[in-house]
């Protein structure tokens, strides 16, 4: 895949223990550039809304210095609300955002692991990293 052509995005969540022993749930949207494998994440202390996901995209684009031509998504209810014969129906707000932003939104199939490998690796690492809360002062959690 050509440089700057595609990005893979996924929402995730993990439960972590703070230094004081409290258990907290964190929510994340991850982006991985397909060619360079550069990663970007936005953390929240509450489940993502469509508006949060759009804001996360804008922050990722600012971090990367531009938008990719295509973003590949896992199926998530805050981005797509239905699937009709293989075509995904986006939420109204996300459809408008995709149209205004000018990138192509593509969805990977659940059974096609090679389409999700890069992003699943990032999400799984985040879920199993027990020290993630140790880095919270350095992360932006909103």
Domain boundaries, the chain: 6-139
Name the residue with higher pLDDT: 63 or 119. Answer: 63
Rounded CA gap, 43 and 51, in Å? 14
Tell me what pLDDT residue 2 has: 46
| pLDDT for 119 | 55
Identify the residue whose tokens are 């985040």.
Answer: 126
What are the tens digits of pLDDT across the range 44-87? 888 999 999 999 999 999 998 988 888 888 777 777 776 665 66
CATH of domain 6-139: 3.30.420.10
């Amino acid at each position: 895949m050509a440089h700057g052509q595609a990005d893979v995005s996924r929402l995730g969540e993990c439960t972590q223990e703070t230094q004081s022993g409290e258990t907290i749930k964190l929510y994340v949207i991850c982006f991985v550039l397909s060619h360079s494998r550069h990663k970007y994440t936005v953390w929240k202390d509450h489940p993502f809304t469509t508006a949060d996901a759009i804001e996360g995209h804008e922050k990722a684009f600012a971090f990367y210095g531009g938008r990719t031509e295509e973003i590949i998504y896992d199926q998530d209810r805050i981005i797509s609300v239905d699937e009709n014969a293989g075509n995904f129906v986006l939420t109204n707000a996300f459809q408008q955002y995709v149209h205004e932003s000018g990138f192509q939104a593509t969805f990977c199939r659940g059974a096609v692991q090679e389409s999700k490998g890069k992003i699943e690796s990032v999400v799984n690492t985040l879920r199993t990293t027990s020290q993630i809360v140790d880095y919270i002062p350095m992360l932006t959690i909103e």
